Every structure is written in structure tokens, then in C-alpha cells.
Amino acid sequence: GQQLNQSPQSMFIQEGEDVSMNCTSSSIFNTWLWYKQDPGEGPVLLIALYKAGELTSNGRLTAQFGITRKDSFLNISASIPSDVGIYFCAGEYSGGGADGLTFGKGTHLIIQP
Amino acid sequence: DAGVIQSPRHEVTEMGQEVTLRCKPISGHNSLFWYRQTMMRGLELLIYFNNNVPIDDSGMPEDRFSAKMPNASFSTLKIQPSEPRDSAVYFCASSLWQGGYTFGSGTRLTVV
């Protein structure tokens, strides 16, 4: 099946630092998504990307859909304590409606005081 | 909007018992997905439905797992008989369009 390689696996940063994580795939996707999961909860959608080359921002978050359709990155600027959590990339290849997402293994973001 | 509602939140059962997980999708969403999350394998798609019809169940681990969606507002995932390796967090998600997935809070299943 499709595989998503997400890196880094974990990040230990200081509050206020910028964060960057990325995902690569062996196959193309026509939708890339970034989710955040807090302990004991389900993943929550942060940003959705639908077009190769698309660059989208949501507050301090910026994500891009790679030109090859096989990669995406997520940047978080000026990190704050509530950014702590697990971030997942996800891709979908669909001819029309929702067909199910393939997820990366996640990036654990830990902010040191 | 109450979001995707899953029950129970936690389930502890003995090996060999039947387990039923329940999901109520967001009203109006026409796709429903069941995922399983473990430390080793991450988030895996088990099965999904479009308009209450199962489309792809290739992710279901084995015949002990079954899922139904009798109507647009309810789905179940059943494990019979359950085994310790089934211990995981099971998520239900619903969607109206590509990429617009909303996840429930999950059911943490422990099989002892």
C-alpha cells in the first residue's frame, strides 16, 4: 500500500522557535492534509491542500503541497506551549469523493520551557 | 454541531469476548471511516462507507472484524472474538467531501 514518510519523528524546541516538518510519499496524492492530535482526542484538521504547488496559511501555520504531488511540509512560526502535540500528515488520492486517508507516523512536538 | 460521536470512550474486555464500537457521524456527511491507532502502526484505515455502502474493507485485519452502517446516522465496528493484539484506539471519522474529515474522540479498547 501507499507509504508516507514523515520527519522528524520528534522535536524538542524552545518556546518562540519556528518548527518545520515534512512528509514524502512513494505515490502521488491529489489532497494533502495536516492534522494535530492532543492526548485522548482524535486528530483535528489544521490545513488542507488541494493543488500542486499550493501554499496555504492558517494563523502561524503554513503548509505547502509539493509540485511533484509526492510531498508536503508544515511550518509553525513562533511556537507557543499549546502547540505541543502530535502532528500528522495525510494524503488522499481520489477520483471524486472521499476515499480514505493514508497517514504519516506523526511528529511529536515538545516545547521546553 | 456535536461532531462525530463515538461510544464507549473506554472499553476493557476479556479475550474471547465480543466487542461493539459505535459511531454517529456528523449529520449530512455521506462518507464514514473507521481507523485504528497503535504505537507501532500509527493510524490505519480499516473500512469506509459511502452513502452507507461499504466501499473498501481491505484494511480490516481479519474475519473477526466486521462493520455495518444500517443508516446514515449510525455505524458499528464489531470484533468477535477479541484478542489482546486488538488493543488500540479506534477512531471513526466522517466527511462530506474530499479532505474534509472530522474525527471522533475515539474508543480506547483494552483486551486482557
- Whether B105 sits inside 8 A of A42 (CB atoms) is yes
Mean pLDDT of B22-51: 94
- How far is A97 from A95, CA to CA, in rounded Å? 7
Q: What is the pLDDT along chain A (113 residues), one digit of tens a residue?
A: 567 999 999 999 999 999 999 999 988 998 999 999 999 999 999 999 999 999 999 999 999 999 999 999 999 999 999 999 999 999 988 655 556 788 999 999 999 87
- pLDDT in the model for residue A113: 77
Mean pLDDT of B44-69: 92
Distance, in angstroms, between A9 CA and closest chain B CA?
12
pLDDT in tens, B88-110: 999 999 998 776 789 999 999 99
- Whether A100 sits inside 8 A of B33 (CB atoms) is yes
User: Are the beta carbons of A87 and A105 closer than 8 angstroms?
Assistant: no
Structure-block grid coordinates of residue B97: 467531501
A75: how many CB neighbours lie within 10 A of its CB? Answer: 15
pLDDT in tens, A17-48: 999 999 999 889 989 999 999 999 999 999 99
Q: Which residues contact B100 (CB under 8 A, 6 or more apart)?
A: A45, A48, A98
Helix H or strand E segment including B54: strand B53-56
Beta bridge partners of B50: B31, B53
Judging contacts by C-beta atoms under 8 Å, the chain A residues touching residue B106 are 40-42
- pLDDT in the model for residue A95: 58
